[in-house]
Amino acid sequence: MDPSAAAAAADDDDDYHATTGGMEPRGEEDNGASTRGVTGRLLAWRGEEEDDDDAEDSGGGSGAGANADEDDAASAVSLDTISNDSILLPPEPTSANLASLLRARKLILVVDLDHTLNYATAVAKLLDPDGAYFGERIISSGESSQPDRKSLGDVFGWAPEMERAAVVILDDTAEVWKGYRDNLIEMERYLYFASSRGKFGIAARSLAERNRDESEREGALAVALRVLRRVHGEFFSGSVCSGSFADVREVIRQARREVLRGCTVAFTGVIPSGDGGRASDHPVWRRAEQLGATCADDVGEGVTHVVAGKPVTRKALWAQTHGKFLVDTEWINAAHFRWSKPEERMYPVEDDASAGAAPNPGGIAGEKEGDLDAEDSGGGSGADDAAAAVSHGATSTDSIVLPPEPTSGHLASLLRARKLILVVDLDHTLVNSTADYDISGTEYVNGLAELVTDDPGRGLFILDHASWFSAFITKLRPFVHGFLREASAMFEMHVDYAAAVAKLLDPDGVYFGERIISRDESPQPDRKSLDVVFGSAPASAAERAAVVILDDTAEVWEGNSDNLIEMERYHYFASSCRDFGSPWECTHSLSERGVDESERAAALRVLRRVHAGFFAGGGGSFVADVREVIRRTRRLVLRGCTVAFTRAIASDDHHSVWRRTEQLGATCADDVGPAVTHVVATNPTSFKAVWAQVFGKFLVNPEWINAAHFRWSKPKEEHFPVRW
């Protein structure tokens, strides 16, 4: 269905949000003091008549608000008896908007947009040309006090309390919603274009490159809509638990816990041991528990599944000999994103599971996200969440009972309209976009380069704007219009965007402005200096401690090498190989070989870590200096390796390969011995090379060290054999 047809099919009372640049004027500020000491008194509005008979009906129950005290219960929204003639409403500050939404059985849906203001507006217009879904409700990242975080406070223009119990968030990135993870339905990323692969460090070919697309019936949006239907239905039906708080977070938690209910899972080769942390704190363990599985420390009679990183471990072999399911970690991730137990046979454990496993779109494996999960997951919402819960008793369609305070006016009208709130990420959730100059060769062959006008049949649209450097090709996710149409009847939806469009260099001068440095400005033409960066005056110590350099030539930064993250040279053309490539690393250019680099994101990962390390502090010996963070990060790459070099490679500590190896955290040995783990050689018949083969040590060529240096990770040794 095209956008205009979708809009025409939308219900008359659909109420969507889509916000971009400036924040809308705020309503009355919620005064937290007014919520204290309030009992469960309810006001029944029947014309002008007030009835306090239901004052005792909003009492607590189990679920997210199970531990709420009397004050918290006062902030809950009770859904007891409902009628069109008698709707029990709180006095101020309950808004008419939220009340009307709840009466229409609608909630709120917020859609996130990962791009610039112009892009956000253009895509929102594409999805909703008549403003039937989002209206003016578009949220700008500039309104957030933390650019790398998203907050429901940005959605509503004030710190939400009651709203949290009625908001559902749909996003592909969980870690940005710190503090709101219980409201989140994490979406599997929609990576239609190849350019998205580089952004997220994914090696697999894109959907466009494979000339495929998601299924409308079984794709991610169809899954999300099934979950949204359930959340909406159970919120208003009271089926979660009679007398409990009506809280979307509790509905989401209970629905999620049914996915792997009855499974008992043991892990092997997945959760690092000996790092001082508890296995139960690992993100994969927590994710399995959130899905309702029981996690076991070891295998035994009750275990039904073993999640393994490799097939030859004690627990993995036990699973195979005892007829238990043996699956890789993507089985857990698939259950998380699809909200159903996946077929185990689709997730075998390969000899090298880390290489074969599909990337996790939500990214639970990272240490940073693990920390976030520790804060935001768990059995309950906590005292703050309980205070914001919506009291949910026995419900019917005859009346809605609301507390007097602190229910916001907007939320109250939504609840009376039978609506919740849904925050939806746009880029990689509902759409995927690429700059027209950024299409891959395979995409070119598949016809994207010939796209000059919109092709609604394929869900492809061209977005252009006078201020952009290039046009965008935007692909709508299959089933997007049906999704929006159906979700709009249940939710008030908000669009949020949080980042600039990937790979648009800087058409409006937002990123670089006037800060372009010419080599002519340097007093030494063959050298680069941070003094030029900061002007005529020499760079101060503080300035040098806060600068990171990305360059492919280390020697030009003499005096600033500790600030440098050296990039691997991109030799696409033959002339580049001829003029700049070394004989052993660049015999033929990429274009001559008919290949190209994979879209890795090693530098971006390092930059994120440097940035986080600089601002994180940490106390003790920590120094707020990017050079120290770079040094410490680099030394983790080959930590634990002891490397010996054959005579063909100079072994004094001034040799570049030796120094590079030590900078990467390895220990360099003058000779072979029991502690040596790797021998770096150019001749496979030398004494040390033969020793390595006899004693089962890794034998690699010098490019193994260089690859570790450029990729900031330990490369697979088998990719760097020593040959004649």
| 3-state DSSP assignment of residue 308 | strand
User: Could you tell me which CATH number the domain at 635-719 has?
Assistant: 3.40.50.10190
121 Cβ partners below 8 Å, 6+ apart? Answer: 20, 138
- Closest of 54, 79, 9, 65 to residue 419, by C-alpha: 79
- HEC string of 595-650 equals CCCCCCCHHHHHHHHHHHHHHHCCCCCCCCCHHHHHHHHHCCCCCCCEEEECCCCC
Q: Is the pLDDT of residue 330 over 90?
A: yes
Q: Read out DSSP for 140-157?
A: -GGG-SSTT---HHHHHS
What's the pLDDT at 461? Answer: 79
Token digits of residue 61 = 């129950």
| Model pLDDT, residue 119 | 72
Q: List the single range of 4-13, 252-261, 338-347, 577-586 with lowest mean pLDDT.
A: 4-13
pLDDT digits (tens, 9 = 90+) for 456-469: 787 777 876 545 56
Calpha distance 64→162 (Å, rounded): 13
Average pLDDT over residues 344-364: 53
pLDDT per residue over 491-522, tens digit each? Answer: 565 454 433 233 322 334 433 334 444 444 55
User: What is the pLDDT averaged over residues 542-552?
Assistant: 71
The domain ranges of the chain are 256-375, 519-593, 635-719
| Segment 593-613 mean pLDDT | 62
pLDDT over threshold 90, residue 704:
yes
Amino acid 539: pLDDT? 62
Q: Tell me how far apart the terminal alpha carbons of the chain are, to the nearest angstrom.
A: 62
Percentage of the chain modeled with pLDDT above 90 = 19
Mean pLDDT of 248-267: 93
Confidence (pLDDT) at 44: 23
How buried is residue 439: exposed, middle or buried, by Cβ count under 10 Å (0-12/13-18/19+)? Answer: buried
- The per-residue pLDDT for 377 is 32
Question: What's residue 445's pLDDT?
Answer: 66
**pLDDT for 175:** 85
Domains 256-375 and 635-719 share a fold: yes
**What pLDDT is attached to residue 115?**
46
Look at the domain 256-375 and name its fold. Answer: Rossmann fold (3.40.50)
User: Over the stretch 656-698, which tens digit does the pLDDT of each residue have?
Assistant: 888 899 999 999 998 999 999 999 998 888 889 999 999 999 9
Sign of the alpha-carbon torsion through 673, 677, 682, 685: positive
What would the pLDDT profile of 140-199 be if each residue is shown by its tens digit? Answer: 555 566 667 787 776 666 545 566 778 888 888 888 888 888 889 998 888 888 888 777
**Can you say whether residue 450 is alpha, beta or left, with left for phi > 0 and alpha for psi between -120 and 50 degrees?**
alpha
pLDDT > 70? residue 375:
no
Tell me how far apart the alpha carbons of residues 262 and 335 are, in angstroms, rounded to a whole number.
Answer: 14
pLDDT, tens digit (0-9, with 9 covering 90-100), for 376-426: 333 333 333 333 333 333 222 233 333 333 344 555 665 566 665 555 556
Higher pLDDT, 341 or 4: 341
Q: Whose structure tokens read 């634990």?
A: 640
DSSP element (H, E) containing 245: strand 245-246
Q: How confident is the model at residue 233 (pLDDT cuts 50, 70, 90)?
A: confident
* Angle, alpha carbons 275-276-279 (nearest 5°): 85
Q: Is the pLDDT of residue 613 over 80?
A: no
Helix axis angle for 283-290 and 367-376, nearest 10°, is: 40
96 or 213, greater pLDDT? 213
Q: Are 457 and 145 in contact (CB under 8 A)?
A: no
Closest CA to 415 of 436, 392, 431: 392
Tell me: the pLDDT tens digits for 427-456? 676 677 777 777 777 677 677 777 778 787
**Mean local confidence (pLDDT), 272-298:** 88
pLDDT tier for residue 83 given thresholds of 50, 70 and 90: very low
Reduced to 3 states, what is the DSSP secondary structure of residue 117?
helix
The answer on pLDDT for 24 being more than 50 is no
| 121-130, 332-341, 468-477, range with the lowest pLDDT | 468-477
Using an 8 Å Cβ cutoff, are 496 and 154 in contact?
Answer: yes
Q: Which is nearest to 261 in space by CA: 208, 340, 378?
A: 340
Which residues have CB under 8 Å from 467's CB, separation 6+?
118, 507, 508
- Write down the pLDDT at residue 612: 72
Question: How many Cβ atoms sit within 10 Å of the Cβ of residue 5?
Answer: 12
Using alpha carbons, select from 475, 468, 462, 472 the residue that is nearest to residue 438: 472
Rounded Cα gap, residues 153 and 160, in angstroms: 6
Contact between residue 51 and residue 89 where contact means Cβ atoms under 8 Å apart: no
Q: For 105-114, 265-274, 570-579, which range has the lowest pLDDT when averaged over its residues?
A: 570-579
- What is the spatial distance between Cα 676 and Cα 54, in angstroms, rounded to a whole number? 77
Q: What is the pLDDT of residue 366?
A: 29
Burial code (b: 16+ CB inside 10 Å, e: under 16) for 284-304 equals: bbbbbbbbbbbbbeebeeebb
Q: What is the pTM of this model?
A: 0.49
Start-end of H helices in 311-358: 314-321, 330-338, 353-356
Distance (Å, rounded) from C-alpha 14 to C-alpha 34? 32
Residue 700 — pLDDT band, cuts 50, 70, 90?
very high
List, in sequence order, every beta strand (DSSP E) within 328-480.
390-391, 420-425, 431-435, 460-463, 472-476
